Structure 1
Amino acid sequence: MKKLTDVLNELNLDNQLTPDSIPNIDLYMDQVIQLFEHTFERSTRNEEEKVLTKTMINNYAKGKLLFPIKQKKYSKEHLLLISLIYQLKGTLSINDIKTTLASINEQMDELDLESFYDHFLTVAADNVAHGKKDIEERMSGLSAETEELSHILHITALVHMSNIYRRTAEKLVDQLAEKNELPRV
């Protein structure tokens, strides 16, 4: 089995869609999918996993996770929101993502989404650096009778940590829903 450091490096956790990598023209759906596949292909679990599909984008639009699309073209702001959805969907439900992004979608005319997204990228880079170090430190002391049992112990410990973060994020979403008087499903 691979060393934990090698596994962490293979995850390409620092892969991000940056505002600079988005063209300054509106894109059609197929172009959006190509951009996301190119950006995040090294971050997928396997070659069969799709980063983004037409169905996903249509569901985001129908579910009002995105402000309205104009003439079947997606603006830079749409792509930034889709990127945030991509980051959030691994942990939160679609309803929680909708709640989280509702005020952003409502304030698109007044909001500097690119600046907000740049702040997110800074936090994300910091999280990757600290997260890798934290995982390596926490897992270094965990061992069991065999290599396989140690591996399983690492998996269970990481899943437990993930659950702590997910549950905390869900509580924060609930607080946001209460503050904005949004219905909870």
Structure 2
Amino acid sequence: MEDAEQLIKNLGHQSGVLLEDIPKIDLYIDQIIQLFETSFADAKRNEDEKILTKTMINNYAKGKLFYPVQNKKYTRNHIMLISLIYQMKSALSINDVKQVLDGLNKKALQQDLNLESFYESYLKLQQGNITIFTEGLKEQSKRVGQQVPNADDAQELEQVLLIASLVHTSNLYRRAAEKLVDDMKERGKAE
């Protein structure tokens, strides 16, 4: 089995849209797609994977996952919101993502929130998450190795066990996020 260090190295976990990557001018949809393709190139599972498409962005706009664009140009704020959507949609439903970002969109549109500062906080947390993940993956890999007896097929068994363990951990995090979304919905109904 690929050791944990090598697996971590090949994940492209440092990929993402940093604030300094976002131009200070408004962009057209094709430019946003190129920015994301470049920023997430190392995180692709294979060469054919599309990070972002025109259809995705148009569906996000139609679904009101971010506030309306002006003259088919997207601001820095839109790009930050699209980045958050990109990250969240792999674990949450689009309706849940909309619920989570609804208040953020309203505050950003009314200029009651400095979205750049918020996004910077998100990026800092993301870096901390990478550290936690790296340490956790090494520990899980070590524990898996202790569970599988030495046998001819030990490597395959370790790999299957690690995959199952990682999926379980992923599901726990997803369920925790969904619970927080549900709490947001309940608070919104109460207000």
TM-score range, shorter chain: over 0.9
SS state of the match for residue 141, structure 1? helix
Alignment match, 2:32 = 32
8 Å CA contact 2:140–2:162 kept in 1: the answer is no
| Cα displacement (A) at 1:138 | 2.1
Alpha-carbon separation, structure 2, partners of 1:181 and 1:69: 28
TM-score after normalising by structure 1: 0.95
How many equivalent residue pairs? 182
Measured against aligned partners, the alpha-carbon deviations of 1:78-118 in whole angstroms (never above 9, x if no partner) come to 00000001111110110000000000111112110000000
Measured against aligned partners, the alpha-carbon deviations of 1:143-175 in whole angstroms (never above 9, x if no partner) come to 324110110000000000000000000000000
Alpha-carbon separation, structure 1, partners of 2:79 and 2:59: 15
How much is the aligned-residue C-alpha RMSD, in angstroms? 1.1
TM-score after normalising by structure 2: 0.92
Q: Which amino acid aligns with 2:43?
A: S
Give the alignment partner of residue 180 of structure 1, picking from 164, 175, 188.
188
Percentage of matched positions with identical amino acids: 46
| Cα displacement (A) at 1:13 | 0.8
Alignment match, 2:160 = 152
| Cα displacement (A) at 1:37 | 0.3
Give the alignment partner of residue 142 of structure 1, picking from 141, 144, 152.
144
Alpha-carbon separation, structure 1, partners of 2:68 and 2:61: 7
| Cα displacement (A) at 1:5 | 1.4
- Structure 1: stretches of 5+ with no match in the other structure: none
1:122 aligns with 2:124: yes
Following TM superposition, where does structure 1 have runs of at least 4 consecutive aligned residues deviating by more than 2 angstroms?
A: none
| Cα displacement (A) at 1:20 | 1.3
Alpha-carbon separation, structure 2, partners of 1:133 and 1:166: 19
Alignment match, 1:7 = 7
Alignment match, 2:52 = 52
Alignment of 1:13-92 (within 5 A): 13-92=13-92
Q: Which amino acid aligns with 2:34?
A: Q
Measured against aligned partners, the alpha-carbon deviations of 1:19-76 in whole angstroms (never above 9, x if no partner) come to 1111110000000000000000111111111100000000000000010011000000
Q: Which amino acid aligns with 1:168?
A: A
SS state of the match for residue 74, structure 1? coil
Q: Which amino acid aligns with 2:162?
A: H
When structure 1 is superposed on structure 2, of 61-70 and 138-147 the one drifting more is 138-147
Alignment match, 2:169 = 161
Give the alignment partner of residue 170 of structure 1, picking from 178, 186, 190.
178
Q: Which amino acid aligns with 1:35?
A: L
